[in-house]
């Protein structure tokens, strides 16, 4: 997680669309990223495989809609 330059006094930005977040993730470390276009969904699937489903859904329910959509697979 990259938090460099994060001003916690500012209000949170709206959650971006999956395509924009994917481009950002791929471009962030462009010299050595291996993240495919489907990387966010693949990470969400892997996370779901290793977290108890009810606990995962409980945690998602506490997040704003954009964040819930981000982890939806």
pLDDT for 3-56, tens place per residue? 778 888 999 888 888 889 888 888 877 777 688 889 889 999 999 999 999 999
Give how many domains the chain has, as a whole number. Answer: 1
Residue 60: give the domain boundaries. 39-73
* First and final C-alpha spacing in the chain: 21
Position 15 in a domain: no
User: Do 68 and 50 contact (CB within 8 A), yes or no?
Assistant: no
Position 60 in a domain: yes
pLDDT score, position 1 = 56
Average pLDDT over residues 59-67: 90
Position 43 in a domain: yes
Axis crossing angle, helix 53-61 with helix 39-50, rounded to the nearest 10: 120
């Amino acid at each position: 997680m990259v938090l460099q330059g994060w001003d916690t006094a500012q209000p949170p930005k709206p959650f971006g669309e999956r395509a924009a977040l994917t481009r950002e993730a791929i471009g962030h470390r462009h010299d050595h990223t291996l993240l495919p276009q489907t990387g966010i969904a693949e990470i969400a699937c892997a996370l779901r495989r290793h977290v108890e489903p009810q606990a995962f859904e409980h945690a998602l329910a506490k997040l704003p809609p954009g964040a819930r959509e981000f982890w939806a697979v």
